[in-house]
Amino acid sequence: MERSSISHKVAEGVAKLVGGVSPFLESFGNAKTVMNDNSSRFGKFMKIQFNKGRIVGGEAEHYLLEKGRLSYQGYDERNFHIFYFFLKGATTEERKRLNLKKVEDYPMLMMGNSPIIVHETKSDGTNTYDVDRMNNKLSDDPDDTGCRAALTHAKVSVKEQQNMWTIVAVVLKLGSLKFKDVNAKGVDGSVVKNMDLANEISKLMGLDHLPKEESLAQMLCIYRRKVPGNKIIDSPVNAKQAEDQKNALLKDMYSKMFDEIIKCVNRVLVPTRQPEAFVGILDIFGFEVFKKNSMEQLCINFANEKLQNLFNYNVFVKERETYRGEGLPEDVIPDFRDNTPCCNLVSGTYKKTKIVGIFTKLDDLKSQKNATDKK
């Protein structure tokens, strides 16, 4: 069989294998960007497992979930799909239990000023894209299957799904939590401005039984550390720091939920026979050009470049060395674009030219008293 035919067969097999899970995997891991209305915002490594030449199962691993999108989106972009899907496709019971509002009422969903997928608007002016992607029945076409139906197909129980929607609601509400600076007893600190919302979040998280000094609102406004002797020291933080801690919490919650989503994927991909071999497919999510780039985005882009650099080294450089050592012609190995200079620009040190990489320079700057994130 020709190589192209083999690749085509593998591609068909992969599509059939992951078709049942892609609706909910994309719901939680994809988002609208300026380049793509359904852009994967996480990296994944997919093992396609074989037995006697037939695909019998698979396994997915993920890395580099773009958590920064939860707290900031560029203009004309959206947060992760699931927030819009759920808010627009929630049942009456879910809306009441979780006290859900409209998409436009959540600041973390409106930073890009783009709450809908524009080209999905119908001739009569209606746009049911998000509702359909949440509630459509199971279909042979993954693009026509709803998130709930795909989760049920993956044997995710009703209770597990309810827990997911609770976490989605908590993350949304955390995004709306606000803080203000205070000066108490000569010490600068902060407090939550909308305590009613903080209490609502605490109840959904099952933390409403905690005393005031251990409450969610209190913990977000302090920096706690444990010193030798198991002694705990709490220091107040200002409103900006409290906001950062809140964002760190909602990012961690969403990240852990995404870990569970990957486990749901692997439930469906469990091999039907003992695998004899596998084909590995590495999918690195693409670069985006933003008007404002964050440190997190720089780290994501750098990680992608390093992965590509590692791939280049093992697939091209090491292979050429092997061919050369065995006296085989090297011209069968194609040329490749070496991105080592790009990696060195970020992390390297150039002693001859006295130029240092971006990360090295940042390490130097952070030790300076007057250094800020603006200079």
For residue 209, pLDDT beyond 50: yes
Tokens of 67: 């958590």
pLDDT score recorded for residue 305: 86
Q: Provide DSSP, 212-226.
A: GGGSHHHHTTEEEEE
Phi, psi of 278 (to 5 degrees): -145, 155
Which tens digits make up the pLDDT trace of 13-70?
555 656 668 899 999 999 999 888 998 898 888 888 999 888 888 888 888 788 989 9
At 146 the pLDDT is 96
Q: Token digits for 172?
A: 């949304």
pLDDT, tens digit, for every residue of 266-282? 988 888 889 888 888 87
Give the pLDDT band (50/70/90) at residue 6.
Answer: very low
Does the pLDDT at position 375 exceed 60?
no
Q: Phi and psi (nearest 5°) for 337?
A: -85, 115
Nearest alpha-carbon partner for 82 in 190, 6, 7, 168: 168
| Residue % of the chain over a pLDDT of 90 | 50
Q: What is the pLDDT of residue 350?
A: 61
First to last CA, the chain: 59
The Cα–Cα gap between 345 and 350 comes to 9
The per-residue pLDDT for 179 is 97
State the pTM of this model. 0.83
Across the chain, mean pLDDT equals: 87
pLDDT of residue 348: 76
Please state the domain extents for the chain: 3-173+249-292, 179-246, 295-375
295-375 CATH choice from 3.20.20.80, 1.20.58.530, 2.130.10.10, 3.10.620.30: 1.20.58.530
Q: How confident is the model at residue 118 (pLDDT cuts 50, 70, 90)?
A: very high
Helix runs in the chain, H state only: 3-18, 22-29, 81-89, 92-98, 129-135, 147-153, 158-175, 195-205, 216-219, 239-268, 295-312, 318-325, 340-347, 358-365
